[in-house]
């Protein structure tokens, strides 16, 4: 972070590693699909580079780690952080498994591809004027979530995070937050962090095992921002 913003709290968006369903493009909500070996390697690689003392995600600077309860997210947490760091964070009460970070509830669309979902919706008499868009239309069936339902649970989490950050905008206390979750959920979180409604056409990409960064401009809790690029210090 530039010197003028040094100490400003950050939120790290850590997507779980690849699964067979994420690899094939199948919508994975509540299904417990394990990481592939490539997925394990993705997280080990990003964790080695980004997580640890003096690195981008420094456990000593972390105030809270929020983890989706799905096994693929829990496994990602276990891979990205060393056992010692996980234990220290857990003993300090800084690790929270929360349904607020669970993947979007896909309902009838669980395990389907986008083209299969759109075909199913046509069978149901939907989407006569335009193609299905999850950000505007949500998902059908039991367990299927609307954009407003996802908004509500994410906004609750953002409110809690902002309370952690308030009063620590210049690095007064360790206040970085790590979110370990899923593709749709983390992109939805980004929209809400920036104050956009779910249907706002903000195209985003977040690869399996990758890390994104959110923060604030001008040390201001009222100016949440997306940290598009990050400069790394030269290793000594």
**DSSP per-residue letters across 62-76:** EEEEEE-SSHHHHHH
106 touches 29 (CB < 8 A): yes
**Structure tokens that stand for 170 in this block:** 């210049």
29 appears as a binding residue in the annotation? yes
Q: Is 105 annotated as a binding residue?
A: yes
Q: Is 47 annotated as a binding residue?
A: no
Copy the structure tokens of residue 116. 């299969």
CA dist 115 and 86 (Å) reads: 40
Our answer to whether residue 16 is catalytic in this structure is yes
- Catalytic (active site) residue 103: yes
End-to-end CA distance of the chain: 18
Q: Confirm whether residue 128 is marked as ligand binding.
A: no
Q: Which of 18, 75, 103, 145 is catalytic?
A: 103
Q: How many H-runs (helices) and E-runs (strands) does the chain carry?
A: 8, 6
- Residue 235, annotated as binding a ligand: no
CB atoms < 10 A from the CB of 188, how many?
24
Q: How far apart are CA 209 and CA 187, in angstroms?
A: 14
| Assigned token pair, 14 | 């850590």
Is there a binding annotation on residue 8? Answer: no
The answer to the question of whether 27 is labelled as a binding residue is no
Annotated binding site for substrate: 28-29, 72, 103-106
Residues taking part in catalysis:
16, 103
Annotated binding site: 28-29, 72, 103-106
């Amino acid at each position: 972070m530039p010197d003028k913003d040094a100490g400003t709290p950050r939120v790290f968006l850590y997507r779980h590693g690849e699964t067979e369903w994420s690899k094939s493009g199948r919508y994975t909500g509540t299904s417990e699909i394990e990481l592939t070996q490539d997925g394990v390697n993705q997280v080990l690689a990003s964790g080695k580079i980004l997580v640890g003392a003096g690195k981008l995600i420094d456990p000593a600077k972390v105030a809270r780690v929020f983890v989706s309860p799905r096994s693929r997210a829990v496994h990602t947490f276990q891979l990205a952080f060393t056992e010692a760091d996980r234990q220290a964070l857990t003993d300090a009460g800084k690790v929270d498994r929360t349904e607020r970070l669970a993947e979007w509830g896909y309902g009838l669309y669980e395990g389907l591809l986008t083209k299969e979902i759109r075909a199913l919706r046509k069978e149901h008499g939907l989407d006569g004027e335009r193609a299905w868009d999850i950000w505007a239309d949500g998902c059908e069936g039991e367990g299927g979530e609307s954009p407003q339902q996802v908004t509500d649970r994410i906004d609750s989490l953002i409110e809690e995070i902002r309370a952690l950050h308030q009063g620590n905008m210049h690095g007064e206390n360790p206040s970085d937050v790590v979110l370990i979750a899923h593709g749709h959920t983390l992109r939805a979180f980004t929209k809400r962090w920036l104050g956009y409604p779910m249907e706002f056409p903000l195209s985003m990409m977040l690869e399996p095992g990758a890390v994104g960064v959110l923060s604030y401009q001008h040390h201001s809790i009222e100016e949440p921002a997306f940290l598009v690029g990050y400069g790394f210090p030269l290793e000594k």
